[in-house]
Amino acid sequence: MADSYAMVKGGKLNLKGHKLKKSKKHKSHKRKFDGSSASAPAVRQSDHEDVAKHGGWWEVKQFADITANIAIEVGDSVYIAALDNGGLAIGEPRDEGDGPDPTEIFTAIKINDTKVAFKSGYGKYVTVEADGTLEAKVEAMGAREQFEPVFQDGKLALNGCNNCFLTCDEDGELACSARTAGEGEFLRLRSCAVRERDPLEDIPLEERGSVKDAEINYVKKFQSFQDRRLRVNEEDKAALKKAKKEGDFHEVLLDRRSKMKADRYCK
């Protein structure tokens, strides 16, 4: 496994079985992206927009998220496709809102906690050949069919069995030939698996737990601790429980806070 990424371009190698012609039109299909991704594990609005843009396919950000159906995105809405002759090629750019083509969907098979194999829709495993080129012609899985997804600094690269990263150059050539990962090696894995929605997703962090805990959390958040004392309204919490159900929890919290302050000043 590579220790770190460095900005190095992968070498240019011809891809066996690659039938796409090199032309200006084909080059335009390779769209660049910066390899960045959201750092927070929670689903944000930007994540929802990204998923909608890619037809419901979301970005895999850790090894545990790799599921059966996987698309390998090497540019914005541009995926690796399997050919019926066992070759691999860069597919056509997908329109916004469209997911990958069936030929661009692979079955990911986890080997262990760090490595995975990819099987094409034709039932063949993606293999790294001796010269680093890629094919998908074998029906059995061995060492050459194993890849290690390397997640680091919000970016992802695929390390082949030859300890070289999968690279895609401006001509659309694919090979595991880069000793270090740079812009030409960064890619995305996308999955369409249904993700379980966090039942607490819409509840503010301060309000998770009992109403007593919630009130303390808000006091800690907004109170000025000039004398290092935490001041919480000690009255019955029944009103808070009722307010939480009826949707005016914040208003009741403010009322309790104001009443407590007024009582202190009266004293």
* Per-residue pLDDT tens digits for 162-220: 999 999 877 788 999 999 998 889 999 999 988 765 555 556 766 666 766 766 666 66
CA dist., res. 67 & res. 51, Å (int): 16
Phi, psi of 159 (to 5 degrees): -100, 125
This prediction's pTM: 0.60
Residue 232: pLDDT above 60?
A: yes
- Yes or no: say if 114 and 70 are a contact pair by the CB < 8 Å rule: no
pLDDT digits (tens, 9 = 90+) for 50-96: 999 999 999 999 999 998 899 999 999 999 999 999 999 999 999 99
Selection from 172, 171, 196, 114 nearest residue 147 by Cα: 114
For 245, the 3-state DSSP assignment is: helix
Per-residue confidence (pLDDT) for residue 85, from 0 to 100: 95
How many Cβ atoms from other residues are within 10 Å of residue 185's Cβ? Answer: 29
Residue 110: beta bridge partners?
116
Which two tokens mark 169?
């150059």
CA dist., res. 26 & res. 102, Å (int): 20
